Amino acid sequence: MGVANGFAVGEPKRITIRTDRDVYEPAEDTELLVRSLRLHEGDRVLEIGTGTGVVAIHCARLGCRVTATDIQASAVDLARENAATNAVELELLHGDMFAPVKGVYDVVILNPPYLPTAPEDLTHSPLDGALDGGLDGTAVALRFVDGLPRHLARGGHAYMVVSSLQDLGRIRHAVHDRGFAARVVGTERFDLEAISVLEIRRPPKRTASGRVPHHRKAR
């Protein structure tokens, strides 16, 4: 284990986290995701695959009610420890994707494994769960999109990290096929790929007059 002090999210107050070699360590894609989030105080937030818990902790610091899940029991324990270190409350659940979750949320977040991965690329370690995106990199992303209709509230937003190495057309088709809209809200470019955050929006219910209810200002 190691300690990453001063992870630069939620400035000016930094987040202190403990890391573990078997749990995905926050990196550039994590920071991009945090910068791209638009949150309201009191939002019901669900993070799938929380890892160290740093994104969930950031959301809780902004006054959101946060539930976070992870398929690795060790990650849930680590996120619980990091939440206590940063004096925030999280509801932490162990399970695969949406399996341990009930109800709907205003914001749903996922930083999925997005690397195209052939069977011979697997490490056969717990980190495969954080890195293995299937042959075209979309396996976990498509499962996430498939679960959104049951768990994203009307007028809600989902945020998902995507990569130029994936079949992005397949992801966008799945989003639109479920009646959602999507747009890129943040991008960072590297030598071999570009990483972006896709915001997936569920259209709000209209009132009897056809108007869309007013929303609070995002933080």
Domain extents for the chain? Answer: 2-201
Query: Looking at domain 2-201, which CATH architecture does it have?
Result: 3-Layer(aba) Sandwich (3.40)
Cα dist from 64 to 69, 112, 139, whole Å: 16, 22, 29
Cα dist from 150 to 76, 83, 89, 101, 156, whole Å: 23, 27, 25, 10, 12
Which residue is it, tokens 């995905």? 24
Quick check: 216 pLDDT over 80? no
Please give the structure tokens belonging to residue 12.
Answer: 């000016």
Model confidence pLDDT, tens digit, residues 167-177: 899 999 999 99
Q: How confident is the model at residue 4 (pLDDT cuts 50, 70, 90)?
A: very low
Model confidence pLDDT, tens digit, residues 120-152: 555 555 555 555 545 667 889 999 999 999 999
Q: How confident is the model at residue 8 (pLDDT cuts 50, 70, 90)?
A: very low
Quick check: 79 pLDDT over 50? yes
* CA-based nearest residue to 59, from 85, 89, 98: 89
Query: How far is the C-alpha of 20 from the C-alpha of 22, rounded, in Å?
Result: 5
- Which phi and psi (to 5°) does residue 29 adopt? -70, -30
Please give the structure tokens belonging to residue 154.
Answer: 């009307």
Check: CB of residue 27 under 8 Å from CB of residue 62: no
| 45-68-76 Cα angle (round to 5) | 165
Q: How confident is the model at residue 22 (pLDDT cuts 50, 70, 90)?
A: confident
Q: How confident is the model at residue 2 (pLDDT cuts 50, 70, 90)?
A: very low
The DSSP symbol for 124 reads: S
What's the burial of 67, exposed, middle or buried (CB within 10 Å: 0-12/13-18/19+)? buried
Cβ neighbors of 155 (< 8 A, separation 6 or more) are 106, 202, 203, 204, 205, 212, 213, 215
Quick check: 1 pLDDT over 50? no
Query: How far is the C-alpha of 86 from the C-alpha of 18, rounded, in Å?
Result: 11
Average pLDDT, the chain: 85
Query: How far is the C-alpha of 50 from the C-alpha of 20, rounded, in Å?
Result: 13
Q: How confident is the model at residue 5 (pLDDT cuts 50, 70, 90)?
A: very low
